[in-house]
Structure 1
Amino acid sequence: MAAHIHQFLCLKDNFGVLIHDPETRHTAAIDAPEAGPILEALAAKEWNLTEILVTHHHLDHIGGIPGLKAKFPEARVIGPAREADKIGKLDQAVGEGDQVTVGRLEAMVLDIPGHTSGHVAYWFEGEDILFTGDTLFAMGCGRGFEEPPNVLFESLMKLAKLNGEIQVYCGHEYTLANGEFALTIEPDNVLLRDRVAEVRQLRAENKFTLPTTLTIELGTNPFLRADEPSVQQAVGLPGADPVAVFTELRERKNRA
């Protein structure tokens, strides 16, 4: 793997992530929750910021852009064209199938609406790395703020079809809470029980729970398992349309 990844916390539980091309020394921030920790991480690594890849318009993902641009005025801000008016000036507005480069590293943009209407993911296929923002979390998914549940479900199914060994980086350290909820749905899922035990240990040691992989998520994330009889039975909808099951899961998680 050519890319170097550096992960750290911003705000309360947002992940800051830098992806660095050691050959060209280009470095991108994935979203910009707040400038301070990102600038500290760049300084510690002795990397210069060249791109900011924005997944969606929520303030906890774009609030640090002005501070980063003040330090690195040449850094290009790249983000979803459908949310450009909410994010502010974009140097590159992107959507489904567009290509983004960080030095020699190349990413394909995937439209994954649901959490917000214009939400995108960045898939560095050559590196087996996927940045999903607030659409897919480890053992969870984001709330559907701007679209109906079926739209968010379709976005999750789109991601689920990618290579199972892709390293998935999400926008927040929500893994333990998500795992605890998942256990209320599938308490007899051995893979899930083992994963939650692992996550509890990681958090007890103050270690991060990401990245995850799509293979892990397909075995443990109830929101990707709405077609599984055990999940359907748990929410009282045996044999139901997976969208209806997903909708019930998301409503239960909203109340949790």
Structure 2
Amino acid sequence: MMFYDTSHTRRSHGVSMFSIRAIPAFNDNYIWCLSHDDSGRALIVDPGQAGPVLQYLKDQQLTADTILVTHHHPDHTGGVGELEQAFPDVRITGPADSPFKGVNHVVHPGDEVVWQGLTFNVMAVPGHTLDHIAYFTDNLISGRPLLFAGDTLFACGCGRLFEGSAEQMHRSLATLRELPEETAVYCAHEYTLANLRFARSWLPDDEGLREFEQRCQQMREQDLPTIPTTLAEEKALNPFLRWDDPAVMAVARRYGAEHGLPVASDADIFAAIRHGKDNF
């Protein structure tokens, strides 16, 4: 099994190193492992499967001491119980008021999670699910802040609205859009090329999207992940963050008129884009 080394950083004076690796799971999931190489401790994000995580930790001689859960879907939580059996002292952090009851450290929006000197802010991002949260740190990994976005924000896409409304998802993405532009966005799925096919269908003349698609195609041909992207890239390319971009607004208004959808507000524009992707 291949594990992807996507980022690492060393503090000044070379004292402490953090590494981030994508552990592939299922067909297109990424389980993120953030490791502190000095201590051999590992933080695992959204472990839908335990087997790939356990194999990676064994190979790297790491101990999982923290699990971050973004939302309750089984492809993000299915491996938690087995990991807890393997590491009985592991701190399992996840959202309050969630259908998933396997956490032992419940957090609410506005809380902080501290791990190995890094502080993650817990952000409410409902839409995909009602319990969805994201974890953001402005501590620098590879020189950039970091966002574990779960299924809220993808490269050139966003999560389906399984439980929440378009208005909720729009507010959630608006909150994420305010984070520093250099933030590295770590989402939980390799959906990039599929998302780009939709984005290019709406904006076929967008040169930035064309160049990004070519770059991502080359990465996938080499079996490399297209994640992380940066928030700056997403703001420039992702139609789901461009509800106030005149080019996106024009297409959304035409689409709304064709399908009887309101397009009066930013949230309406977002909803039209989401409707378009759902029916693409």
TM-score range, shorter chain: over 0.9
Q: How does 1:139-150 map to 2 (within 5 A)?
A: 139-150=156-167
The match for 2:31 among 13, 16, 28 is 16
Partner of 1:39: 54
Distance 2:108 2:129 in 1: 14
Task: Please list every run of 5 or more consecutive structure 1 residues that lacks an aligned counterpart in the other structure.
Answer: none
What is the deviation of 1:163?
0.4
1:114 and 2:127 matched:
yes
1:80 and 2:104 matched:
no
What's the CA shift string for 1:130-158, capped at 9, x where partnerless? Answer: 10000000000001111110100110010
Q: How does 1:55-94 map to 2 (within 5 A)?
A: 55-83=70-98, 86-94=99-107
Q: Secondary structure at the match of 1:78?
A: strand
What's the CA shift string for 1:61-85, capped at 9, x where partnerless? Answer: 00001111111111111000121xx
What is the deviation of 1:120?
0.5
Q: Secondary structure at the match of 1:96?
A: coil
What is the deviation of 1:26?
2.5
1:7 and 2:31 matched:
no
Partner of 2:218: 201
Distance 2:36 2:137 in 1: 12
Distance 1:89 1:7 in 2: 23
Return the letter of the residue paired with 2:219. L
Cα RMSD (Å): 1.4
Q: Does structure 1 conserve the Cα–Cα contact (< 8 Å) formed by 2:81 and 2:102? A: no
The match for 2:117 among 104, 121, 140 is 104
What's the CA shift string for 1:118-137, capped at 9, x where partnerless? Answer: 10101121121110000000
Distance 2:53 2:235 in 1: 31
**Aligned residue pairs, count:** 254
Q: Does structure 2 conserve the Cα–Cα contact (< 8 Å) formed by 1:182 and 1:222? A: yes
Distance 2:96 2:68 in 1: 12
What is the deviation of 1:58?
0.4
**Identity across matched positions, percent:** 37
| TM superposition outliers: structure 1 runs of 4+ over 6 Å | none
Task: Please list every run of 5 or more consecutive structure 2 residues that lacks an aligned counterpart in the other structure.
Answer: 1-8, 10-16, 258-262
What is the deviation of 1:208?
0.5
Q: Does structure 1 conserve the Cα–Cα contact (< 8 Å) formed by 2:40 and 2:61? A: no
Q: How does 1:151-230 map to 2 (within 5 A)?
A: 151-230=168-247
**TM-score normalised to the size of structure 1?**
0.95
What's the CA shift string for 1:92-118, capped at 9, x where partnerless? Answer: 111211111222222111111111111
**TM-score normalised to the size of structure 2?**
0.87
Distance 1:34 1:193 in 2: 34
Q: Does structure 2 conserve the Cα–Cα contact (< 8 Å) formed by 1:53 and 1:78? A: yes
Distance 2:19 2:279 in 1: 38
The match for 2:266 among 236, 242, 254 is 242
